[in-house]
Structure 1
Amino acid sequence: MHSISALRDADTCWLLALGKIIAQTGLPTTEPFSYTYYLMTQTGIAHPFILHQWLAELIFYKIFQLAGLGGLGLLVALLTSLSLVAVPALAHYKEKVSIPMAMLIGTFAQLGCAFRSYARPEIFTYLLFALSLYLIESMTKSARRRACASYCYIAIYAAITATWANLHSSFILAVCLSFLPLIAALANNFFTAAQAKAPEAEKNSSAKTLLPLVLLPVTTILATLVNPAGINLWTYLPYLYFMKVAITEARTLNLDDLHLRGFVPYFVLFPIYIITLIRYLRKFAGQKDASFFLHCLGAILALTLACNKIRLIIYILIIIAYELPLLLTRLSKQAGDQAEVASSTTKQVWFKSPFLVLLAPLTCLIGSFYVTAFVHQSRLPEPSPSFDPPYDAIVYLRDHRPTGPVFNDHRFGDMMIWYLKPPVPVFIDTRIDMYGDQFCLRYAAMCNCQNNWRQDLDEFGINYVFLPPNTPLVQTLAKDPGWSTIFADKTAVILQRR
């Protein structure tokens, strides 16, 4: 399933195109595909070009070179399986967590990721997020016992963050996570001091314990600067996260989503996680330690993400896949002698072996390979309920390309970037954050024949338009004697000035 849905997003087209440029000529310093972006930067409407996910683009293109579109599907299936099944199950192996239970929860959570399991840069961040959760918990546990281990965790976490900052803008999550061990330790110290006055030696030990926890967020923030844009990567984030233009993936969940099958795993697992966490907090309220507060902070993070954008749901599912098996195990051990009963049921080596976890990614790889090789012929992008790609129109443009500037649909622009050779400069593509609010609103007004749309067509020197048939601009120009239809089917219409 993930191998098929991986190619449904048109973004993969320009991601591959940029990856090709990076592989052949190095990192571009100017935007290579759009003629309007340059004009907008000259007038100050668009911000300077920032190549903020170059490493993901390069990896995608190299995999495409090696294994074609099917290879991208395999990559997506493997990364989601590792993020939601393998890493969470292995992370708590020493906690005597039932690996089959962890795999079952993780697999169900993985089903809930299909709506966002695209060949896009964030697919790498799912694995990095899962690894970060493990390192954060390990850091919290080792802070009081092994200072040397804490510094090793800091170095590993910094390396993960630096990699993350070159893959996708969600590296801000790594920064947020890096503060959790420190906050948990401070909360633990506060409640411990409130209950009984700690000896002087213990206070000194506590101060030494806090040092690596303070260094963790500091080194994490510094690690984010290890990227081609440096500090400018941070200045780009507001354009990504605070756009006024409505984007489907940036909306929040609502009651209308309850009937969507793709969200069923999330709507099932999230309440179970919250109820289990409340039970855990009540049972262990008298045994507060740093790990206790870390679970509280994890829940706060999950709730914060849940109230935010729909594209963050997968990170919530990773938290659930990581936390829920551990909470259930600790609750079962607390209830009488159930810990021994649980251990007696897992005496078979295969049943508790960590190698059992490898079945999940291995099964994903085999299944994805079978689907892409023998069942389904991959296309880019794959058709979806929200987008019917204009394959025939792209072929027409490749063979009968009109001259002059084009006014195109933003998703059509993605396909033009990848398929048309030599490259045809596009009016717009799906890099909405790059173009900015003002330009995107102007583009929407032109599509809907609003404001000064005729003047805008003349200002940009538009010679032909390439849009879906139901676009008001297409319907208006089709009746205009100054325009003629040179291609039309159910997915796209191309009109040219006479």
Structure 2
Amino acid sequence: SAGRRFPERAERGRPHRRWRRVAAKPKSSSRGLSRRGGSLPVTLFLLILSLAASAVHFLARPHVVSWLLTVIWFDLLDSAAHKSGVKRDNRLYWLPGIMVLWVNLHGGFVLGFGLLAVYLIGGGIEYYARREERAERKEWLRHLGGVAGLSFAASFLNPYGYQLHLHVYRYLSDRFLIDRISEFLSPDFHGAAQQCFAVLILITIVALASARRMPSPTRLLVVLFAAYGGFYATRNLPTSSLLITLVIAPVISDTLVEAGRNTNVTSWLRGLFSRAHSFSERVGKLELKLQGHLWLVLVFVLGLWACAHQGRIGSTQFINAYFDAKRFPVEAAEVIAQRGIREPVFSLDYWGGYLIYRLYPQTKVVVDDRHDFYGDQFIKDYLRVVLAQPGWNEVLEKLHVEWALVPAESPLATLLRLTPGWESSYEDQTAVLFHRRSAA
């Protein structure tokens, strides 16, 4: 299908910056889980699983910062929602400030409003379900509603004002693009990252089924919201995995503590659960003494070690500062740079990002993977070319394309070889660079 022609965006340059941002998430997540009662073994296991699921989208773009802001946003919301007493949690007033930062960094700011809606709905359910707490719930809903309004107003503090909201809405409601861009399609569970998410969902089901104390309605809604988002689109797997982990880790930890005290459980299992709980408490006390910096220091040391050993920890390659020449036109880009080609180059959308990174400003591209900037008609024309459909050459003429860089084994490469007026200027196992001959 045409959707398969929109591969995962794969710009992986500047890995050290990306890993510093990724490294911040385990620290924020683990501290939040510790406060909610998540034991260390359970927390580590689920965080590793969620980060493995996030690997489907480990790319050097601002959305990695969006993951961190999602964790912080959830932590502030959830802590305030489950605070005992009627006293307001003034930390919620950080949310409008975070929204100003978020809306200027990445379109994922809409997730913040999704979580606000979840907590408003959850608060409404708890208001009607718990009559003895109605006064407290009413005050919470009023407080949260005010903060939500301030956050919404804060989202307009960007260079484009309301036009940004219109752009995001039009993009996300454009069925032609959404149904064809692979990261917006439902996950393909043949991949390792997607399978990690499936395992996380199965663990969640078992954890909720065996829990002696069910999470609050609001937290259950967060799990449903995250699970739906993960199943709906591949790009949601990272944030969905992190949100599910933040809710489920304390539930599993409580269940294991109860199992360690249950005489009906086999003695060796009780001993295992008890030792794990004791170890978790000791490490938790140590982390508090270190003011929560233990995980950041650990990740920093591992990252520093990997950088000093060409990205390897032991025999495993964790960081790679180079582009895979089998997936990207690395050698062809070098040829373009050496020949000083100035005309825009037509290529695959996800190669376009690499070519911009490698060749800008000397050489520009006809298209890259920022599909929302091009519009439906342009993307339809692009697909006609890359799928080698009738009229492909007319599209290239309309766009005044003089250079085309295409995969070596693609149907388009075959057609360009057979079409008068086009000649191969460079070729390797990954890509072929074609040039349109001038008319005699």
Question: Does 1:369 find its partner at 2:293?
Answer: no
Aligned residue identity for 1:244: F
Percent identical pairs in the alignment equals 20
Deviations 1:77-113 (A, max 9, x none): 3333432x32232124344432343223212322332
Distance 1:399 1:134, change over 3 A: same
Aligned equivalents of 1:404, 1:89: Cα separation in 2: 50
Q: Which residue of 2 aligns with 1:244?
A: 176
Aligned equivalents of 1:9, 1:371: Cα separation in 2: 25
Distance 1:227 1:487, change over 3 A: same
Distance 1:184 1:336, change over 3 A: farther
* TM-score, scaled to structure 1: 0.73
Aligned equivalents of 1:327, 1:94: Cα separation in 2: 13
Equivalences for 1:53-68 in 2 at 5 Å?
none
Q: Which residue of 1 aligns with 2:295?
A: 360
Q: 1:117 aligns with which of 48, 58, 61?
A: 58
Q: Which residue of 2 aligns with 1:173?
A: 111
Return 412-421 or 333-342, whichever deviates more.
333-342
Distance 1:213 1:179, change over 3 A: same
Query: Contact (CA 8 Å) 1:11, 1:430: kept in 2 or not?
Result: no
Distance 1:208 1:261, change over 3 A: closer
Distance 1:143 1:433, change over 3 A: farther
Distance 1:81 1:402, change over 3 A: closer
Aligned residue identity for 1:132: W
Return 469-478 or 165-174, whichever deviates more.
469-478
Question: Does 1:75 find its partner at 2:17?
Answer: yes
Q: Which residue of 2 aligns with 1:232?
A: 163
Query: Contact (CA 8 Å) 1:405, 1:460: kept in 2 or not?
Result: no
Q: What displacement does 1:270 show?
A: 1.6
Q: Which residue of 1 aligns with 2:92?
A: 154
Aligned residue identity for 1:208: E
Query: Contact (CA 8 Å) 2:201, 2:227: kept in 1 or not?
Result: no
Q: What displacement does 1:360 show?
A: 3.3
Distance 1:437 1:135, change over 3 A: same
Aligned equivalents of 1:185, 1:402: Cα separation in 2: 60
Q: What displacement does 1:179 show?
A: 2.5
Aligned residue identity for 2:19: A
Q: Which residue of 1 aligns with 2:101?
A: 163
Q: Which runs of 5+ in 1 are unaligned?
A: 1-7, 13-68, 286-290
Query: Contact (CA 8 Å) 2:350, 2:368: kept in 1 or not?
Result: yes
Q: What displacement does 1:292 show?
A: 1.1
Q: Which residue of 2 aligns with 1:270?
A: 201
Aligned residue identity for 1:353: L
Query: Contact (CA 8 Å) 2:10, 2:59: kept in 1 or not?
Result: no
Q: What displacement does 1:240 show?
A: 3.2
Instruction: Determine helix, strand or coil for the equivalent of 2:159.
Output: coil
Distance 1:393 1:263, change over 3 A: same
Instruction: Determine helix, strand or coil for the equivalent of 2:434.
Output: strand
Q: Which has the higher contact order (CA 8 A, sep 6+)?
A: 1
Instruction: Determine helix, strand or coil for the equivalent of 2:353.
Output: helix
Deviations 1:134-193 (A, max 9, x none): 11111112374322x2xx223211112221111111111100111333322221221223
Distance 1:380 1:451, change over 3 A: farther
Equivalences for 1:450-461 in 2 at 5 Å?
450-461=389-400
Question: Does 1:299 find its partner at 2:227?
Answer: no
Q: Which residue of 1 aligns with 2:46?
A: 105
Q: What displacement does 1:326 show?
A: 1.0
Question: Does 1:309 find its partner at 2:233?
Answer: yes
Query: Contact (CA 8 Å) 2:34, 2:284: kept in 1 or not?
Result: no
Q: Which residue of 2 aligns with 1:323?
A: 247
Question: Does 1:90 find its partner at 2:22?
Answer: no
Q: Which residue of 2 aligns with 1:188?
A: 126
Q: What displacement does 1:232 show?
A: 1.0
Question: Does 1:430 find its partner at 2:369?
Answer: yes
Q: Which runs of 5+ in 2 are unaligned?
A: 1-7, 263-269, 313-318
Q: How many residues align?
A: 410
Query: Contact (CA 8 Å) 1:74, 1:365: kept in 2 or not?
Result: no
